[in-house]
Structure 1
Amino acid sequence: MGIGLALAVGVSGLAGSAAAEDDMIRIGAPLPLTGPLSPEGDKQQRGYDLWAKTVNENGGITVGDTDYRVEIVYVDYESNTPRAVQTAERLITEEDVDFLFSPFGSGATKAASSVSERYQIPTVAATASSEEVYNQGYRFLFGTFTPNNTLTDPMAEIVAGSGEDIETVAIYARNDLFPLAIANEMEKSAEENGFEVVSFDEYAIGTNDHSSALTLLRDSQPDWVFATGYINDLILIRRQMRDLGVQPQVLSMIAGPAYKEFIEATGEAAENVSSAAWWHPAVEYDGEGVFGTTANYLELFEEEYDSRPDYAEASASAAGVILQLAIEEVDSIDPVTVRDALADIDVMTFYGPIRFGETGQITSLEPPVFQIQDGEAKVIYPEAIKQTDMRFGGIN
């Protein structure tokens, strides 16, 4: 479908309420629902939809004497960043949305943030972690992912402190804003912890064959391979690594292994792959907002989708919770007033503690590090939710 067509309204109607049709808060959500990033777009949509459905079934968002139902307007930008920017503007100027959820990922979020800033529309980014997104001096953008080094520093510290004979690291990164940014952070984290980075190679967006690059990587015999990209990239890379006999002692990939689809697609090859993310179902928070506890969120998600949520889905739901709490705190849907409430928010949610720094990026989370063991992702850090120790070797 073309970018001018709103694909669907995520939620309509308000269970148990006689709210008038115009008592509605409309939130625009440009997403990559087709194209190579569609798996990620689908995850965000599930997270947003669960939040909106739960809000509406619980009476909507109360502002003054009015209960507003939530309506999410989705538009498919077909995994094309320039279209994401155009879509964000159309949602504001033609669809008359009150607020925005950002497109998927750091690159599209950075590009589209200029639109919401120009129109002064509060925007919550559920999947953007790169500091380059937030250092533009914008006031209306808020993100639920901490900076990239909050993932790479703990990973490097865990491996460095393991006592294993691991000295060298090879980095293989998608040439895109987030994958390349986190690869650069990994290089810094590795060197700060005494590892030698023996190679740092990039692959182009849309690469369908990594065999030449992986052959060169194999020849350098790294102890640790760190690969970045999105889920379709990393599934292919993992398969081709196995075919070529690339067998490091440690294999880390960001961000695909956080998704059950990665484990399903790679099977036994997923074993002992490590990663990190901004949230994991093992966390336990008793929070404010429509979901309350993490346990309740998990129960509602599993009832709706017959699966456990991953960090992308949970972050999308959290974006809605945060926006709702800000609106209710100031008892207003005025965009500037809500923006100020977002800037000042300090609250516990099912997703964790929420506080934004001066740039609008969240500063309050401690992202989990995990490893796929026995067919499921198990937390190895932080200590408070640790489920197991990290395994070394076994990359076949």
Structure 2
Amino acid sequence: MKRRTFTTLAAIAVAAAVALPAAAQETLKVGAVAPKTGPLAGGATVTYWPNVQLWVHDVNARGGLDVGGTKYMLEVVEYDDQTNPGQTIQAVQRLVNQDGAQIVLPPYSTGLNLAAAPIYNRFGLPMVTSTATTDKAGELSQQFPNVFFTLGGAQGIVGGVVEAFTALRDRGDIGNKLAMVNVADAFGIELMGQAKPAFEAAGFELVYESSYPLGSQDLSPVMKAAKAAAPDAFIAWSYPPDTFALTEQAIVEDLQVGAFFTAVATAFPGYVGRFGAQAEGVLGIGGVYADGAAFQEYAARHEQVTGAKPDFWASAMVYSSFQVLEQSIEAVGSFDNAAIIQHIKDNAFETVIGTLDFDENNNNTSFWTVGQWQGGVFKGVASTGREGAVEVLPKAGWN
């Protein structure tokens, strides 16, 4: 069989290594570039940076990265790209040309990953993205064979949202009138483009639509206009700052809808921390099998090492993408990037979110699409095949 689960091979290698003399140990520079300032800094602070810290901690705690018998302790070189694609590209160039980073982790967000893909390809770096959502994975993998996508595409995510909203409508919990808005960047534009025809095909009527620039400070006009359209349900293809701002404005305006959906950051622990009981019933992108042992073990270790809770969507995927890279480097036994990329293409990997397997550089594994705050936990309610989904519930106002 071409594909195999690498953790089995890794276990054999570890067992064999017990009888060998202690390996030499050196230091290996790992590059990481993501926002620490700018509009997406809040999201990266929750989802990206803590998992860089956790992964490096875990690898070093095991004695380092084993590359051809040499143990490498990881040392991270970090850059803030200021949520600016140009800065992302410059940082990757500096990491390779000046800092001597042997590993360069992928950046944060759909837009920054897509902008940086050409420079990773130019350097031949394996790029296992963990926070990019796009239906162009097939096209991009043809252009950039070193780039892998793990988080799913817009079509799958939209399908999950349509499924959840249709279930609510068919039970009589909501009507057909829908307000939908999006952040005007690659993420929001692509999801909005998929969602409009999908909801119309499902029999929903779009009574209000709007887009707003990334980094918008005042979203009250958007929510006022949405309320004026008297929708039965509300959807925002939003990034972290606007997810919080739109929710806040919905509460201020007392937007009474039976389904309220915001995208990135709805799954953040800080969301329920900020809105408390008012978060109950809010739907959002992502989700996890929150009651599963694998996620609970990862979440406990995440909090112990970083002092912060992971989010209920992409946090575990970020860590899993690092595991894929780690396992491939150790299997290849060198820093031959071409061989590492081929190994990722040819194998399946056991990670904290389960098996990751790539088909033409796209995650061939089922993934969560919609979660909902229920009883203070963001639980998965729709997926492309994951187990553990709970029943979607209507939003019972803003308590």
Matches within 5 A, 1:309-328: 309-310=310-311, 311-328=313-330
Counterpart Cα distance in 1 of 2:109 and 2:56:
21
Instruction: Decide whether aligned partners of structure 1 residues 206 and 158 sit closer, same or farther in structure 2, where only a CA change above 3 A counts.
Output: closer
8 A contact 1:281–1:308 mirrored in 2: no
- Counterpart Cα distance in 2 of 1:254 and 1:81: 22
Structure 2: stretches of 5+ with no match in the other structure: 1-21
Structure 1: any 5+ residue segments left out of the alignment? Answer: 1-16, 285-292
Partner Cα distance (1:119, 1:305) in 2: 31
Aligned 8 A contact 2:290 2:380 in 1: no
Q: Which residue number corresponds to residue 12 of structure 2?
A: none
Given residue 363 of structure 1, which amino acid in structure 2 is its aligned partner?
A: N
In the alignment, the residues of structure 1 paired with residue 97 and residue 161 of structure 2 have an alpha-carbon distance, to the nearest angstrom, of 44
Q: 1:133: Cα distance to partner?
A: 6.1
Q: Is the 8 A contact 2:382 2:389 kept in 1?
A: yes
Q: Percent identity?
A: 23
**How far, CA to CA, are the matches of 2:342 and 2:396 in structure 1?**
49
User: Is 2:56 the partner of 1:55?
Assistant: no
> How far does the alpha carbon of each residue in 1:125-152 deviate from its partner, in whole angstroms, 9 at most, with x for none?
2211123466231011122211122222
Q: 1:243 aligns with which of 240, 243, 252?
A: 252
Deviation at 1:72, TM superposition (A): 2.3
**Distance of 2:271 and 2:300 partners within structure 1:** 23
Q: Quick check: 264-273 or 73-82, which moved more?
A: 264-273
What is aligned with 2:336? Answer: 334
Partner of 2:144: 138
Structure-2 residue corresponding to 1:224: 233
Alignment of 1:237-386 (within 5 A): 237-277=246-286, 279-284=288-293, 293-310=294-311, 311-358=313-360, 360-381=361-382, 384-386=387-389
SS of structure 1 residue aligned to 2:235 = strand
Moved more, 270-279 or 203-212: 270-279
Equivalent positions of 1:56-205 (< 5 A) are 56-132=60-136, 135-136=139-140, 137-162=143-168, 163-164=171-172, 165-205=174-214
1:299/1:270 CA distance change after superposition, 3 Å: closer
Q: 1:37 pairs with 36, 40, 61, which one?
A: 40
User: Secondary structure of the residue that 2:210 maps to in structure 1?
Assistant: strand
For 1:70-97, what per-residue CA distance to the aligned partner results, in whole angstroms no more than 9, with x for missing partners? 2222101112222111111111211122
Counterpart-to-counterpart distance in 2, 1:195 and 1:205: 27
Distance 2:224 2:299 in 1: 42
Whether the 8 Å contact between 2:369 and 2:382 is mirrored in structure 1 is yes
**What's the counterpart of residue 27 of structure 1?**
30
Distance 1:283 1:254 in 2: 23
State the superposition RMSD in angstroms: 2.2
Q: Secondary structure at the match of 2:266?
A: helix
- Counterpart of 1:256 in 2: which secondary structure? coil
Counterpart residue type for residue 273 of structure 2: E
> Shift of the alpha carbon at 1:118?
0.8
TM-superposed CA distance for 1:306, in Å, is 4.3
Higher relative contact order (CA 8 A, sep 6+): 2
Secondary structure at the aligned position of 1:183 is classed as helix
Shift of 1:200: 2.2
Which stretch shifts more, 383-392 or 89-98? Answer: 383-392
| 1:52–1:320 Cα contact (<8 Å) kept | no
Q: Check the 8 A contact 2:23/2:70 in 1, yes or no.
A: no
Task: Read off the aligned partner of 2:218 and give its amino acid letter.
Answer: D
Once the two structures are superposed, residues 217-245 of structure 1 have per-residue CA deviations (whole angstroms, 9 ceiling, x without a partner) of 11211111101222211111111122123
Residue 258 of structure 1: SS of its match in structure 2?
A: coil
Structure 1 contact 218–246 (Cα < 8 Å) conserved:
yes
Please tell me whether the aligned partners of residues 258 and 276 of structure 1 are also in contact (alpha carbons under 8 angstroms): yes
User: Helix, strand or coil: the match of 1:356?
Assistant: strand
Q: CA deviation at 1:279?
A: 4.1
Could you give the per-residue CA deviations for residues 235-281 of structure 1, whole angstroms, max 9, x where no partner exists?
11111122123221111110121001122223343221101316454
Distance 1:279 1:100, change over 3 A: farther
Paired with 2:208 and 2:149, the residues of 1 have a C-alpha distance of 32
Q: Distance in 2 between matches of 1:94 and 1:234?
A: 38
Given the two structures, how large is their TM-score scaled by the length of structure 2?
A: 0.86
313-322 or 271-280: which moved more?
271-280
Contact 1:169 1:222 in 2 (8 A): yes
> Hey, what's the Cα distance between the residues in 2 that align with 1:60 and 1:133?
32
Greater Cα offset, 237-246 or 50-59: 237-246
